[in-house]
Amino acid sequence: MAAIIAVASIVIFYSCEKDVPKPVVNLTELGYENSKTGYAGSDLHIEADIVAEGKIDNVKIEIHPEGDHGKGASATLHEGEWEVDTTYTKFSGLKNTTFHEHIDVPVSAEPGDYHFHFIVTDMEGNQTTVEEELEILIPTDAVAPVITITSAPAADQAFSNGQSVSISGSVSDDKALGGIYIGLVREGQNLTDAQVNATNTITILHTHDFPNPAAHTFSASIKVGAAKDNNITPKDITGDIAWQSGNYYIVVKCVDAFGGNWTYSSHYPIVINL
C-alpha cells in the first residue's frame, strides 16, 4: 500500500510539474493610442504585456486582409494588398516582457479592413493568440513635424572616452507626433538621413511615447565608449556600429503619427578620440 501511495504521489507531482499554464497576453496598443488603425506610409504601433510561466519561445505577428484568414505568406497577394508574417525570437527565455515594436505599413498598402493576430508560443509548446480587427487608412496629414535644436556640440568638437555627447531641443506637429530618433552616425557609413535608424547607428534617443501628442521637449546624451546605447530596447554597441576614433555627426529625425511625413535636422559634426 505504501508503494502504491508513493507511486501515486510521484505521478501527481510529475503531472503538476508539467502543467504549465499558457502565456498570458495583454495587448495594450494596436495603432496610435490603441486606435486599431494604421496609415499607409507610416508605422503601426504594437505593444503588449506578456507573462509566460513556460518562458517565451517566440512571438509572431500576422496581418492579412479581412476575408483572407489563413492565407499563407507564400500565397500571391492581389495588387495593393498588404500582409505581415513576422516572428520575433529576441524575447526567447523570458518569463515576462513588454513587447513594443513598430511595423512599417507600405505606401502602396490598400486601405480597408485587416485581421491582426498576436501569437505567443512558450518553450513548453503552449500557445496563446490574441486577435483584433485593424483598419488601414490613407493618410490625410501632409504637414511634416518641426524640429528645433536648442543645444548641441560645437562644430567638430572633440570627445574622448567617458565624455558625454549631448543634444536638446523640441519637436512639434500640427496633429500628432509619431516618433523621434536621434542617431550618432559615423561619417564613413555614408548613410542618407532617411536610412539612419536604430539598427545601423548608435541611438542617443528613440521614442514614440509623447505625453503631449503635438509637442515634445527632449534632452539626450550618451557616453563615448558606452557598452549599450539608448534605443527603446538598448542594443550593444558592437559590430558595424562599434565605437571608433574618427568623424561622426548627430542627426535628429521626426515623423508624424498620421501622414508618415519625416523631418530631418541639420548635421552636428563631432570628433571621437578613443
Domains of the chain: which residue ranges?
21-137, 146-273
User: pTM for the complete prediction?
Assistant: 0.63
Task: Out of 3.80.30.20, 3.40.50.150, 1.20.120.550, 2.60.40.10, select the CATH number for domain 146-273.
Answer: 2.60.40.10
How many other C-beta atoms lie within 10 A of the C-beta of residue 250?
25
- Decide if 134 contacts 113 (C-beta within 8 A): yes
Task: Give pLDDT tens digits for 7-17.
Answer: 444 444 444 45
Task: Give pLDDT tens digits for 16-26.
Answer: 456 899 999 99
Separation CA 37–CA 136 (nearest Å): 6
Separation CA 227–CA 245 (nearest Å): 16
Do domains 21-137 and 146-273 share one topology? The answer is yes
Task: Give pLDDT tens digits for 214-231.
Answer: 999 999 999 999 999 999
Does residue 6 have a pLDDT over 70? no
Task: Give pLDDT tens digits for 32-80.
Answer: 889 999 988 788 999 999 999 999 999 999 999 987 544 443 333 344 5
Top CATH class, 21-137 = mainly beta
How many other C-beta atoms lie within 10 A of the C-beta of residue 86?
12
Q: For the chain, how many residues are written?
A: 274
